Every structure is written in C-alpha cells, then in structure tokens.
Amino acid sequence: MKKWITNSDALSTSELRKDALSIAEAAYNAIDTDAVIRSRLVLTGSELTVGGKTYDLNTFSKIKILGFGKASCKAVQTLESLLKERISQGVAIDMHAGVCDIVDVEKGTHPRPSPENVAATEKIVNMAKEKSDNELYIVAVSGGGSSLLCWPIGESEQGARLYDDFRRVGGTIEEINTVRKHISGVKGGGLAGMLYPATVIGLVFCDVPGDHFEEVASGPTYYDASTVADAQTVLDRYGLSGYTLNETPKDKKLFERVNNVPVISNTVPLDAMAAEAHRLGYKPVNVGKSLYEHPAELLKRMYNELGENTAVIAGGEPSFAIDRPGKGGRCQYVAVQALKNIKEGELLLAFASDGRDNSDAAGAIADSQTLTKAKAKNLSIDDAIESLNTYDFLEATGDMLYTGATDANVSDLFLLMKK
C-alpha cells in the first residue's frame, strides 16, 4: 500500500492518531487514479471492455484521448500506458503540467477559470471539429473540470465571477453547475455535441457527493435536462445578475454514441475507511456521503453516532458563506469547529481527497492535544472561525495533514473517533 501522508510520523503522537491516519491512508489508496483505471478497463488483444461494453479498437480509424480536471494528467498517463501505440493524439487540462508521450498536457487555473483555460480548451474544440464517425474518443472527466474546461472566452469572465458570487452566498454545487452549463459552449453536453458522430467513452471520476456523476465538470458528456429558465431561477434565488445564458444541446441523437462510465466516487473511500476502522477494532458508522450542511451541523450529525470504540465516517462538502478574507479550506474549518466540543479520548480528522484543502495542506486533526497546544500559544478558536483564518491556527498547533496533490478528487472525507 502506498503511503500518502507525508508528515504522519510527526502527527502520530498517540494510538488514536495512529489509527486515524491509518484509516485516512486506506481512503487515499482506494482512490489512486492509476489503480482505479487499471481495475475498470480490460484490454484483451484489440478488444477494450469498459462500462459493460466491448469495443474492437481495430474498427476505429483513430483513437484520441481527452481529459480535464484534477485527475486528468494521471488518468491520461495510465491510458497511454494501457493503449500505447493505438493513440493518435490527445489533450488534457490539469492544474499542473505533466509529461505524456502522445497527449499534450496543458496547465490551467483553478478554482477560477481564466483565458489560459480557454486557450487550452480551444485545442479540444479544434480537435472535435476534425472528428469522424469512425473515430473513438476516450474522455477522462474529473473534479475541477468545471474551471479547467472553459470555452468560449465569454465563459472565462462569467465563470470567475460566478465562483466568487457563490462563495459569498453559499449556494450548492448543483446550483452553480446549473448556471455553469448555461454560460458555456462545452458543458451540459456541449462537448458530446461537438464530438458527434464519433464514439465517446466518458470515464467519470466523481467529486460531487451523492454519486452525481452527471454533475462532474458540469456534465460535458451528459445530456442536460436543465434549461435557461432553470439557470435564471438559481440566479434570481440569490439576487445575482449580469449573466448571459444559452441553452444546452437538447437533441438526444447527439448522445447516442456516448458511453459514460462511472469510475469512482466517494462511496469507495468511505467503504475503505469503514473496513480499516473495523480491522483496527472500531465499530464503523457511516452517516452519509453527500453532506453539504454547515460544519456545525455536520459535526452534530457525527457526534450523535459517537460511542465507545466507534469510528464515525462521512463524505461531502460542508457549506458556509465566505464573506471575508482568511486562509484555510473546508476541512480546516471543520477541524477548528470540532475543537469547541472535542473531549479527551476523541479525535476528528477532516481531509480533502485531492490533497489540497484550499491550501498546501490536505486537512487537519483536532483532539485534546490540539486544544492543549492552542491554549499554550494563546490561540482563540472563536477568532479563527470568525476570521476564517483556520490555516494559521492549525499551522501553529502543528496539526495540519499534508499529502501533496493526489491526482484524485472525490469530495472531502471526515472521521470522528472515540477509543
């Protein structure tokens, strides 16, 4: 098993912490992009079996690879190693540059789209213009793609403004994605429409809690049932204006040759966490995989199930309005919030599956040791929460968890334990 947490030795100052870190390692190993792809795709001679269908690769004049999102670079590297000389060309857009033998890997910005993302996406659009009905496109779709896949140029400015507006009002991922689909030419099935009549295999890595694969990267290869009116309703709900909306492709013929394959979601790491907790002697309790509530409500839900030798697990993206400057992400906020009620013998671990909790840290531990160190340094829990400056608080106590970029993304994960 690969070791992901780079500072586990420094964090392992109690048996409870060691157990928590072991459970987190199990989660990270369960979502390893390379291993996941190799478990889903079977190549026998010229036949590729994926998502319940078998394709004879010899029947296609060209095989092309596309990718966008936080798992795209690693995904296309694995696809290249599997399909080797069969790939003719490809483009991937990730948060960091990578090297492939055939596929061009472009670096884009996240979480806000930019003209750089538009320029990278235009390479995909231009490739789509050259498609034919006997070509195969394998498209790796992963979280972060809503920002990285961006076209035309008008979407860049609107998408960046929309992201900031939703941080301020605290809307849901489904709501922001509904609007994103209607300010874009490639989201909401737009890419599938461009690629028709080529054959398309969409490999979808779900970061939207609740296994909403069609919402990943705002659904560029899925038929979209929402309308301009639906997007306008979302904007009106939060008093937002100044957006130019367009309709998504509604001709279902454009999707007849698309096979969207659910590759992985946060169900997989939550199951791995439960199995590791059970191995370590804890009773695992899963309180949900699609939790969007405020961190205080999330913690209340978890505490309701906490007992002796229990490991309560959860997945989601806690929601709260970000209306002031501060450093830190959702997981760090949840960890500091937990310190208001944490007791001796209890521990809360919150961590981002992509290894980036809006910072270089993946998440944080909160327990009685954290409280002791905070008190010694005269750190205020309430001030950290009020200012949204949870990063500095946890960095000062030395309770941040680091992994580096994991090249995966399936939502945030949470663990509450009692020995």
Q: Angle at which helices 153-169 and 115-129 pack, to 10 degrees?
A: 130
Query: Which pLDDT score, from 0 to 100, does residue 325 have?
Result: 79
Whether 154 contacts 105, CB under 8 Å: no
pLDDT tens digit string along 368-378?
Answer: 999 999 999 99
8-30+267-418 and 33-264 in the same fold: no
pLDDT band at residue 171 under the 50/70/90 scheme: confident
Mean pLDDT of the chain: 96
Sequence-ordered list of residues with C-beta below 8 angstroms from that of 231, at least 6 positions apart, any chain = 178, 179, 181, 182, 183, 243, 245
Query: Which pLDDT score, from 0 to 100, does residue 204 have?
Result: 98
Domain ranges for the chain, please list them. Answer: 8-30+267-418, 33-264
Query: Which pLDDT score, from 0 to 100, does residue 91 have?
Result: 97
CATH 3.40.1480.10 for domain 8-30+267-418? yes
Q: How far are the Cα atoms of 44, 241, 305, 402 from residue 356, in angstroms, in the given order?
A: 37, 31, 28, 9
Query: Which pLDDT score, from 0 to 100, does residue 170 have?
Result: 83
When pLDDT is averaged across residues 70-97 and rounded to a whole number, the result is: 95
Bond preceding residue 325 cis, omega within 30 of 0? no
pLDDT band at residue 293 under the 50/70/90 scheme: very high
pLDDT band at residue 274 under the 50/70/90 scheme: very high
pLDDT tens digit string along 297-325?
Answer: 999 999 999 999 999 999 999 988 777 77
Our separate counts of H helices and E strands in the chain read: 16, 15
Q: What is the three-class DSSP state of 109?
A: coil
Query: Which pLDDT score, from 0 to 100, does residue 350 have?
Result: 98
**CA nearest neighbour of 203 among 81, 72, 88:** 72
pLDDT tens digit string along 196-235?
Answer: 999 999 999 999 988 999 999 999 999 999 999 999 999 9
When pLDDT is averaged across residues 106-135 and rounded to a whole number, the result is: 96
Which CATH topology does 33-264 take? Rossmann fold (3.40.50)
Query: Which pLDDT score, from 0 to 100, does residue 167 have?
Result: 87
